Amino acid sequence: MKLARTLLCTFLLFILVSSLGLAALPEGLQIDQAKITLVLPKGEGQSYHVWHTTNPMKVIVDAQKNVWGRAQQIKVQDVALKVVRWSAASDGTARLVLEFDYRLPAPNVTETDDAVIVEVAKEYVETSEQVVSVGVRYGHQRRAGAAGPNIVNYLRIDALRPGVEVKLVLAQDSVRGRERVSSMAWRSQAIAAVNGAFFAGDGRPLGLFAIDGELVSEPYAKRTAIGLGPGFAVMDAVDFHGVARLADGSEHRVTGINRPRLQDDLIVYTRRYGTSTGTNVYGWDIVLVDGIVVGIYQGNADIPENGLVLSGHGAARDFLATLQVGDAVEVQLALEPDWFALGVEQIIGGGPRLVRDGIVHITGETELFQPDVLVGRAPRTALGFTADHKLLLVTVNGRQPGISVGMTLAELAELMIELGAVQAMNLDGGGSTTMVIRDRVLNLPSDGIERAVSNAIVVITPESRR
């Protein structure tokens, strides 16, 4: 019993020493931000065999003679190296083991006259690229830095190649839908896809969105957006100007497109919102076809397939109150800058901006983003284009310690520049971050399963068209 108590006390003391970091690391072990270095002294009759395993990641040193003393195990306060332990055999040989939290490159072993030097890089990038289809390349990165490991997936798209299209898709083909990216990719006959813009709980895109030249939703806080036209892309902070004008010349500002009507709002509803406006009785819904009033309702009007509904509350309701069936109403919806005049067909808003003219340029505060987007590291989705007009779609896994910790916006901006972007912006991230290639989800969604989202950016090639 006395022996058992003694052994227990010794064990508890060892645990305490290890947890407090009081045990000494082996002489010659150096830890810094970039690498782990182990210097093994040579001597008469001494030799070392250095080898490693990858799953789990361990670097193992077998020594002909014990230079480390009594067996110990030490917990290390380091992002990569977690445990150092060593033991001795009865024949005088010894083993030292470095246990890591995640996979790192194979150790680099060199020799001098006096020592064997083992180095394990903690900061590294391993990149591979392959052709997915004509005009589309897929890249995969395993990388690590001061905060830990990350897994990056990216698409490099030559939108100038004949037959290659980059398009936007709404979930369920509706403003208020939610659908998995893999499902949107499949029904769009896409070779690849990523998630797109931020969205509200009912699935509405939050910010500027346009499909095939039709505005689906208005910008929010003049945030960064990208416009895609035949063989070109533009990126800027975009504003919205809408107006409804009556036959007598009176006019009223349009405050929104395809979103719930609030106090004093004048909202334009198109069929992409659904079959009816769902508005309450405290406003007027004016149904227009070819600019002519064909119906007037006190809320919840049906939306025509070939027209729109103007819905007003408060001052906007008063503006609409004099209208009668047969009256003419002009509705103008414009962007500043006027991308549609340039030939832009697809527009997706996101933000904040990450890169401007090849330089890190993060506009989070001016675009009124909240800390859940701006602060800390998370799974990320980003979009950019290169000087030679290639489009980049990028995802970073996150919230998975020991696998992929995610990136800050500053790190994401540097990554986009590293991949060749001269202009880049952030998109919806977190559990929404998804990349699909050939109907397979390539990233590791932080929710554990693929999330149903509001919209997607899809890449269509001649090969993918059924």
Cβ contact 52:58 at 8 Å: yes
Using alpha carbons, select from 284, 316, 314, 317 the residue that is nearest to residue 301. 284
Pair of tokens at residue 176: 């208020």
Does 162 sit behind a cis peptide bond, omega within 30 degrees of 0 on the bond before it? Answer: no
Write the CATH number of the domain with boundaries 240-336.
2.60.120
Name the pairing type of β-strands 179-180 and 136-145. unpaired
pLDDT by residue, tens only, the chain of 466 residues: 444 443 444 344 344 434 444 468 999 999 999 999 999 999 999 999 999 999 999 999 999 999 999 999 999 999 999 999 999 999 999 999 999 999 999 999 999 999 999 999 999 999 999 999 999 999 999 999 999 999 999 999 999 999 999 999 999 999 999 999 999 999 999 999 999 999 999 999 999 999 999 999 999 999 999 999 998 999 999 999 999 999 999 999 999 999 999 999 999 999 999 999 999 999 999 999 999 999 999 999 999 999 999 999 999 999 999 999 999 999 999 999 999 999 999 999 999 999 999 999 999 999 999 998 998 999 999 999 999 999 999 999 999 999 999 999 999 999 999 999 999 999 999 999 999 999 999 999 999 999 999 999 999 999 999 7
CB 333 within 8 A of CB 242: yes
pTM of the model: 0.91
Q: What is the DSSP letter of 306?
A: T
> Rounded to whole angstroms, how far apart are CA atoms 57 and 332?
61
Residue type, 240: F
Domain ranges of the chain: 26-122, 127-233+341-460, 240-336
**pLDDT tens string 43-70:** 999 999 999 999 999 999 999 999 999 9
Q: What distances in angstroms separate CA 287 from CA 256, 260, 283, 332, one per listed residue?
A: 16, 17, 13, 16
- To the nearest 10°, report the CA torsion of 106, 435, 186, 383: -130
Instruction: Please check whether the domain covering 26-122 is classified as CATH 2.60.40.3500.
Output: yes
Instruction: Provide the pLDDT for residue 23.
Output: 66
Q: Number of C-alpha atoms within 13 angstroms, CB side, residue 461? A: 19
Residue-level pLDDT at 12: 40
The sign of the CA dihedral 364, 369, 374, 379 is negative
Residue 331, CA distances (Å) to 208, 242, 289 in order: 18, 7, 11
Following DSSP, what letter does each residue of 69-94 receive, concatenated? -S-EEEE--SSSEEEEEEEE-TTS-E
DSSP labels for 337-363? S-HHHHT--EEEE---EEEETTEE---
280 CB-near residues (< 8 Å, 6+ apart): 261, 299, 300
Q: Assess contact for 349 and 457: CB atoms under 8 A.
A: no
pLDDT of 296 reads 98
- Mode of pairing for the β-strands spanning 266-269 and 256-257: parallel
For residue 8, give the H/E element and its range: helix 2-19
Burial (Cβ within 10 Å: 0-12, 13-18, ≥19) of residue 83: middle
Rounded CA separation 357/366 (Å): 18
Cβ 421 vs Cβ 413: under 8 Å: no
How many whole angstroms separate alpha carbon 392 and alpha carbon 196? 13
- For 3, 272, 393, the CA distances from 381, given in Å and listed in that order, are 59, 25, 8
For residue 455, the model assigns a pLDDT of 99
Cα gap 285→288, rounded to integer Å: 10
Measure the CA–CA gap between 2 and 218, rounded to whole angstroms. 78
Q: What is the DSSP letter of 366?
A: T
Task: Choose among 152, 32, 138, 139: nearest CA to 405.
Answer: 152
The residue count of the chain comes to 466
DSSP for 370-384, written as a single string: -HHHHSS-B-EEEEE
Strand order in the sheet with 48-54: 48-54, 57-63, 94-100, 81-88, 72-75
Angle ∠(441,444,448) on CA atoms, nearest 5: 105
b/e 424-443 (16+ beta carbons within 10 angstroms → b): bbbbbbbbbbbbbbeeebbb
Residue range 196-227, pLDDT digits in tens:
999 999 999 999 999 999 999 999 999 999 99
